[in-house]
DNA sequence: CCTATTGGTAAGTATTGACTTACTGAGTAA
DNA sequence: TTACTCAGTAAGTCAATACTTACCAATAGG
């Protein structure tokens, strides 16, 4: 639920690939698996992790499960790196000017 | 070197902790290890990974190695999530309006 | 030179976790 | 009910990796 969990959730390349495909538009598990070099259960497991991290949402349509990127989750990551960038840049400038350690 | 490698590099909690400590200001390996529940070699190994990902830089001062967050690397991540957020939000809106599966 | 400080590297271990093949379940339609 | 579709779950395997201790390299100072 925190940004840390989100970053961690996006670490594995396959999971990031799933996430980026969903960014283009909602997809059911099967369609998602077709475009990936792993099995459908593997995709399901990754989706479970992404959902737990608050990065995707799930809706049901008949027997299908449609997954979408959760914009709120992405915003949280974006904001984190925004703030982080400010802090890091500040520290960097200080370290150059001050000659401090 | 790509954003993917950067995200992956920030996955492990200990490595993220190192990175965030460095965001506050430059530190040598030893000082860094003092504040963490892992050994100094472990910190060295994490720093190696962060450096390879383009997230930190290293400068030498005598026998010490000073590590700093590389603002360029952070900016890359920030920009990635900025763009990603736009795309994801667009897809989200479309999926709500269009009712397109 | 010898010693101390600082930190990277090697090697081994042990846990994590990404993936597979079953299977189970839930919804739809004849 | 039976059968078909779509997808989550269980269980097991195998590779990746985060960590440890021991060792080695380089610089600074006596």
Q: What is the pLDDT of residues B27-58, one digit of tens each?
A: 999 999 999 999 999 999 999 999 999 999 99
Asked if B87 and A23 come within 8 Å (Cβ–Cβ), the reply is yes
d(CA B41, CA B33): 9
d(CA B84, CA B3): 12
Q: Which nucleotide has the shortest C1'-to-CA distance from A67?
A: D7
Query: Two tokens at B13?
Result: 């909690």
Asked if A74 and B81 come within 8 Å (Cβ–Cβ), the reply is yes
- Nucleotides on strand D lying under 7 Å from protein C-beta: 5-11, 17-22, 25-28
Average pLDDT, rounded, for chain A: 90
Which residue in chain A has the smallest CA separation from B96? A26
pTM: 0.91
Would you call A69 helix, strand, or coil by DSSP? strand
pLDDT of residue B1: 67
Q: Who among B11, B20, B69 is closest to A8 (CB)? A: B11
Say whether pLDDT at A75 is over 70: yes
Count the helix, strand and coil residues of chain B and give each as a percent rounded to the nearest 5: 65, 15, 25
**Bridge partners of residue A56, in order along the sequence:** A69
């Amino acid at each position: 639920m925190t940004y840390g969990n989100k970053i961690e959730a996006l670490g594995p390349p396959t999971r990031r690939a799933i996430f980026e495909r969903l960014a283009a538009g909602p997809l059911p598990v099967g369609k998602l698996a077709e475009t990936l070099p792993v099995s459908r259960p593997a995709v399901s497991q990754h989706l479970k992790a992404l959902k737990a991290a608050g990065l995707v949402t799930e809706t049901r349509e008949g027997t299908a499960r449609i997954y979408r990127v959760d914009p709120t989750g992405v915003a949280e990551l974006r904001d984190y790196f925004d703030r982080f960038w400010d802090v890091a840049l500040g520290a960097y400038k200080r370290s150059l000017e001050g000659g401090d350690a």
